[in-house]
Structure 1
Amino acid sequence: MTIYLYWGSDDFAMAKAVDSLRDRTLDPAWATFNADKISPEQSDAVIQGLNQSVTPPFGSGGRFVWLVDTNVCQQASGEVLAEMERTLPVIPETNVLLLTTPNKPDGRLKTTKLLQKYAQVQEFSPLPPLKHNEIVSSVRKAAQEVGVKLTPDAVDLLAESVGNDTRSLYNALEKLHLYSLSAGPQPLSAATVDQLVTATTQNSLQLASAIRQGDVGTALELVADLINRNEPALKISATLTRQFRTWFWVKLMIESGERDEKAIAAAAEIGNFNRIYFLRKEVSSLSLSQLEQILALLLELEVSLKRGTEELSTLQTKTIELCQLCRPTSFR
């Protein structure tokens, strides 16, 4: 494959993939002569990129042509389409043409259909915060790539700490890798991860814990702290929803009479079934009805934020309502 289309908003993951593709294509000794990075501000950027993509490389290795932030999959002239139809089938095997864009390609356009025919298309979008098992899998894969051995508990904690933030994940793994060089061959524990990694989602989890306990004062302080640190409100909402959904499923399974912790963990989509012991204690003060009402209220929060309501006041209002829902029935 000589043509690639990378799209999505996870620019850190995309940048890593771009570097890897460029390194595989170029001979370092000839990289200066054979690497072309063409920005969208240049006139006729796509035409330039197509022309360069069929130019033989100098010396050894291949030629790497990168059309940065191209809009060819959002709009394109007839001239561009004609040039793509003429050029894409004849790009030499020695050369690589890479197109990157943060936007999802418009599948209705002829240029997009043409790239789908000739190019390897890859999406680089953050995993949904609610897909905890997928985030755990991505943490495990990244740890293997960096060369860091982690215990299952450490993998789970790292996933909780960095969420779907790829940049934070790799920064944390680089730090853990340096530590492991002097710590010996044993997998690093959750305690080590807790000591070395600055959690980017941890305050949202602390917020969920404060809400569960009905602690309005602490919960509002955490909301203010998260907003002051520029944490996206929708990300806070997603973390709360995932945590309360986990508590809901644990409570539901317990009340249905399930005693097998592995079965409860599977239903709640928890990778490490040892967490069930602690989750049992956490949900003991909440009824299934309360958890159902909380999830409904969190859905209202998500809808409000997506409609563009003011983030801080919306979070504060819903946090107070959530804390009130979590208080024992006799006090409500």
Structure 2
Amino acid sequence: MPVYVYWGEDDFALEKAVVELRDKILDPLWTSFNYTAITPEQPNAIIDGLNQAMTPPFGAGNRLVWLVNTSVCTQCPDNVLAELQRTVSVIPETSYLLLTFRNKPDERVKSTKLLKQFATIKSFALISPWDAEGLERAVKEAARNVGVTITANAASMLASSVGNDTRLLYNELEKIRLYSNGSDKSQDEDVVLSLVRNTTQNSLQLAAAIRKGDTDKALTLISELLAASEPSLKIVATLIGQFRTWLCIKMMIESGERNQQEIASSCEVGNPKRIYFLQQEVKSLSLSRLVSTLPLLLELEVSLKQGAAELPTFQTKVIELCRLCQAN
């Protein structure tokens, strides 16, 4: 099919797939004539893209029209829908139409139903940080793409280190590839330990240390993260996300909800099997204490955005948060 729909929050993986598609269908000598990327700011972007997709390519190869960050699968005016219905089924075999956006297509929208009939749809959703098996599969697939052989333990360690940051994963695998210098030998966990920055997992470990009120460990982790040049606002975002999840879980427990599927849906936890472990994690924390953590985290975020010194600001708030969690 000459129509492709790519969606998801994994920007790096999605952009990589776009490049692969472009290189696959375009003649490199005619790319400047046959490749068009249309952003939503351009007037009549969708209709213009559809019209260009109906235009035969110049010279050799095919034509690719890319509608970047289009809203066609979330809201589609009647005139755009009519043009889509008229065009999508008759696009020439030498022309390709690519639509990309971050959010999942709305199944209720007529344009989504239409594209499901004629388009190849691929998801580039981020893997949940808790999905250890999914993260390890992603590491192994990326290693094959880069041309690196790693052991199972090394894949597990790498998955724990980079989490669902695909861009960072490929950067770290490239370092391992250069280190291996073309060797067929499987690179083990010692190589990963020596070359790879452990950031995502440490941010989650920091959240766990704060939850347990372990001030010493929390202060050590924040020092290590900042020393490794981990962006301070990214650390705060991880903490806020984790504590919001814990708060939601606690609220559902307090309300008497026991259905793990319902709790997972309400708290936006991708894997319902994770709910049991989250329930155990918040068992010793009171609802009021969890509620009180969020203002402190937001104060931390505001201070950092206003240019406060990172380490002392983090240390002060981490101590406050640990003391708060100790008070249960």
Question: Residues 103 and 210 from structure 1, CA distance in 2 versus in 1: closer, same or farther, beyond 3 angstroms?
Answer: closer
Residue 218 of structure 1 is matched in structure 2 by 217
C-alpha contact 1:163 1:201 (8 A) present in aligned 2: yes
Shift in alpha-carbon separation, 1:307–1:128, aligned structure 2, 3 A: farther
Q: Is the 1:37–1:68 Cα contact (8 Å) retained in structure 2?
A: yes
Among candidates 298, 305, 308, match of residue 310 of structure 1: 298
In structure 2, C-alpha distance between the alignment counterparts of 1:110 and 1:25, rounded to whole Å = 29
SS of 1:199's partner is: coil
Match in the other structure for 2:267? none
Distance in 1 (CA, whole Å) between partners of 2:290 and 2:88 is: 43
Quick check: 1:159 aligned with 2:159?
A: yes
TM-score, with length taken from structure 1: 0.72
SS of residue matched to 1:58:
coil
- The question of whether the paired residues in 2 share the 8 Å contact of 1:38 and 1:68 is answered with yes
Aligned twin of 2:233 = 230
What secondary structure is seen at the aligned counterpart in 2 of 1:310?
Answer: helix
Partner of 1:150: 150
| Code of the aligned partner of 2:42 | Q
Structure 2 match to 1:10: 10
Amino acid at match of 1:47: I
**AA in 2 matched with 1:127:** I
Deviation per residue, 1:253-279 (Å, 9 max, x gap)? xxxxxxxxxxxxxxx99xxxxxxxxxx
For 2:129 and 2:287, the matched residues in 1 are separated by: 14
Question: What pairs with 1:190-229 in structure 2 (closer than 5 Å)?
Answer: 190-204=189-203, 206-207=205-206, 210=209, 215-220=214-219, 222=221, 229=232
Asked if the contact 1:201–1:239 (Cα under 8 Å) also holds between the matched residues in 2, the reply is: no
Aligned-pair identity (%)? 46
Deviation at 1:307, TM superposition (A): 10
Question: 1:41: Cα distance to partner?
Answer: 1.3
What per-residue deviation string (whole Å, max 9, x for no partner) do you get for residues 141-181 of structure 1? 11011111101111111001000101100111111111111
Counterpart contact for 2:293–2:321, Cα < 8 Å: no
Q: Secondary structure of 2:218's partner?
A: helix
Q: How does 1:178-193 map to 2 (within 5 A)?
A: 178-181=178-181, 184-193=183-192
Q: How many Å apart are 1:203 and its aligned residue?
A: 2.5
- 1:208 offset after TM fit, Å? 6.3
Q: CA deviation at 1:108?
A: 1.6
Question: CA contact under 8 A between 2:215 and 2:318: conserved in structure 1?
Answer: no
Q: Which amino acid aligns with 1:215?
A: D
Gaps of 5+ in 1: 243-267, 270-290, 326-332
Match of 2:112 in 1: 112
Asked whether the 8 Å contact 2:35–2:64 carries over to 1, the reply is yes
- How far residue 231 of structure 1 moved from its aligned partner, in angstroms, is 2.1
- Report if aligned partners of 1:39, 1:69 keep a CA contact under 8 Å in 2: yes
* Partner AA of 1:121 in structure 2: I
Work out whether residues 129 and 235 of structure 1, in 8 Å CA contact, stay in contact via their aligned partners in 2: no
Structure-1 separation of matches of 2:20 and 2:27: 13
Partners in 1 of 2:93 and 2:24 — Cα distance?
13
Once the two structures are superposed, the pairs formed by residues 10-29 of structure 1 within 5 Å of their partners are: 10-29=10-29
Q: Residues 186 and 75 of structure 1: is their aligned pair in 2 closer, same or farther, counting only changes over 3 Å?
A: same
Unpaired stretches in structure 2, ≥5 consecutive residues: 247-272, 302-316
How well do the aligned residues superpose, as a CA RMSD in angstroms?
3.5
Q: Which amino acid aligns with 2:141?
A: K
Deviation, 1:212, is 9.0
Deviation of 1:64 (Å): 0.5
Secondary structure of the structure 2 residue equivalent to 1:90: coil
Give the distance between the partners of 1:30 and 1:200, measured in 2 at CA. Answer: 42
Output the amino acid matched with 1:85.
Answer: Q
Partner secondary structure for residue 181 of structure 2 = helix
CA contact (8 A) 1:7 1:101 kept: yes
1:48-83 CA-partner distances (Å, limit 9, x unpaired):
111111111112211100011111122222211111
Q: What is the CA distance between 1:215 and its match in structure 2? A: 3.2
Residue in 1 that maps onto 2:264: none
CA distance in 2, matches of 1:239, 1:133: 20
Which segment drifts farther, 160-169 or 35-44? 35-44
Question: Number of matched residues?
Answer: 279
Match of 1:126? Answer: 126
Structure 1 residues 315 and 90, CA gap change in structure 2 (3 angstroms): farther
- Give the Å deviation of 1:217: 3.3
Q: Which moved more, 1:45-54 or 1:210-219?
A: 210-219
1:65 matched to 2:68? The reply is no
Equivalent-residue separation in structure 2 for 1:67 and 1:124 (angstroms):
17
